[in-house]
Amino acid sequence: MPYIRLVNVTKRFGQVTAVNELNLEIEKGECFSMLGPSGCGKTTTLRMLAGFEDLSDGEIHVGGRLFSSPRQNFYLPPEKRDFGMVFQAFAVWPHLSVYENVAFPLRIRKLPKAEIERRATDALRSTNLLGAAAGSPENLSGGGKQRVALARALAINPDVMLLDEPLSSLDPHLREEMRFEIKELQRKYGFAIVYVTHDQAEAMALSDRIMVMRQGEMQQIDSPLNVYNNPANRFVFSFIGLSNFLRVSRTDGHAGLGTGSLPTELAPPEGLPPHSGLTLASRPSEIDFLAQGGLRGKVSRKSFLGEIVDYHLRLEDGQSLRVQKNRRLPGPEEGESCGLLLRRPFWYTDEN
C-alpha cells in the first residue's frame, strides 16, 4: 500500500484553481520530485501535504492515517504530522548556536534531555556539522546553513522529508554537492522525500520518479529516464531537456518545411489527425550532420561550451534548429551548409 496518497486534491484561491483534482501515490523510502515552471501548483501541493494550506477538496492520507479532508471536516495541523521540512530560505536562527538550531524542535516536543542530545548529535554528525555545533550558523556558508536546516529536519526522525527548492539559492558547485548529500541521507535513514523544484537537473539526479506539472494539473509521472525518453506530450518534451520544434505544413497529404518536402525518413507517422497542424520535435543531442541528404541548413552560430559544441542552424524555410555535439567530433563551420539527420524525431499535433 502506498505510504502517501493524494485523492482528487484540489486547491482554489478565489476563482483561481491552483491544483486541480490531483491523484498521487508515493511509496515509503521513495524520492519523488514535483517538477514544473513557476505557478504550476507544485509548491501549493507540498504546502497542502505539510498542512500549511488546507484543501478545497479531496483527501490526503499518510501511513494509513487521514491527514486532510474538507468533506469530513478533518485537518491535522502541521506540528502533528511529524514531517521534516526544508525550505528554499535557510530559515536558521542566528541567535542560536548550530547545535541549538538542531535541538530546538526536539525541545518543543519536550523530549528527555538525553534523547535530545543523542538525536541532535547524530543529525549533526550525519550532515558533517559536528565540528561547528558550538558556533553561530551566521559563520557558515550557504551550503553550511542548508546543512543546519537538513540536520534540524533529520533530528525528529521523520518518515517523510519535504523539500521546497532547498538548493536554488546555492551556487552551482554547492548545489551539485548538496544534491548527492541529500540522496545519501535518504539511503541512510530510509525516509521518503517529496522534492519541489523547477530545476530539471536536480529532479533527474535525485528522483526515483518525477511528476511534471502544468497549470495545476499532472502531465506525467514516471522515472527520470522515461520522462526524458518518452514524454507524454509536447509540454513535457519542451520542459525536460533542450528541445527543437519545427512547424510542418501539410498540403494534399504531403508534409514539408516551407516549399520543400521532408526527407523520406522524416515522413509523419500514420494515424495523425489529417487536418491538424503538425510539429516535428527533436533533441539537439540527437541530431547528426550529413554531407548529403537530410534536412538542409546553414550554420549561423557555433559556440564552444567545454565538452560540447553548440550549433545554431537556419533551415531553408527560415526556421532555426539547434545541434549539440561532442567537441571531438567533426562539424561544419559558421556559414557552411550541411544536412541534418534527426535520429529520434517526435511528432505532435495541435491537439497535444
Mean predicted confidence (pLDDT) in 51-79: 95
Nearest Cα neighbor of 27 from 184, 207, 167 is 207
Mean predicted confidence (pLDDT) in 273-288: 86
Helix or strand or coil: residue 41? Answer: coil
What is the total count of domains within the chain? 2
Residue 313 clears pLDDT 70, i.e. is over it:
yes
Rounded alpha-carbon distances, angstroms, from residue 215 to 1, 37, 88, 128, 235: 29, 9, 21, 39, 11
Contact (CB, 8 A) for 122 and 103: no
**Spatial separation of the C-alpha atoms in residues 232 and 234, rounded to whole Å:** 7
Q: 87-91, 112-116, 189-193, 286-290 — which is least confidently predicted? A: 87-91
204 and 283 part of one domain: no
Higher pLDDT, 18 or 271: 18
Q: Give the 3-state DSSP-derived string for 310-348, with helices as H, strands as E and coil as C.
A: EEEEEECCCCEEEEEEECCCCCCCCCCEEEEEECCCEEE
* pLDDT value, residue 93: 87
230 and 329 part of one domain: no
50 and 196 part of one domain: yes
224 and 305 part of one domain: no
What is the CATH classification number for the domain harbouring 310?
Answer: 2.40.50.140
pTM to 2 decimal places: 0.87
Greatest mean pLDDT among 46-55, 129-138, 198-207: 46-55
Structural domain harbouring 109: 4-237
Please report whether residue 263 resides in a domain.
no
Mean predicted confidence (pLDDT) in 281-309: 93
219 and 182 part of one domain: yes
* pLDDT value, residue 351: 63
Find the helix packing angle between 113-126 and 172-189, rounded to 10°. 130
Place of cell 511528476: 211
Residue 40 clears pLDDT 90, i.e. is over it:
yes
Higher pLDDT, 180 or 303: 303
Please report whether residue 264 resides in a domain.
no
120 confidence band (pLDDT: 50, 70, 90): very high
Q: Work out the mean pLDDT of the chain and round it to a whole number.
A: 90
Mean predicted confidence (pLDDT) in 272-281: 79
33 and 87 part of one domain: yes
Rounded alpha-carbon distances, angstroms, from residue 84 to 65, 91, 112, 155: 17, 13, 20, 9
152 and 252 part of one domain: no
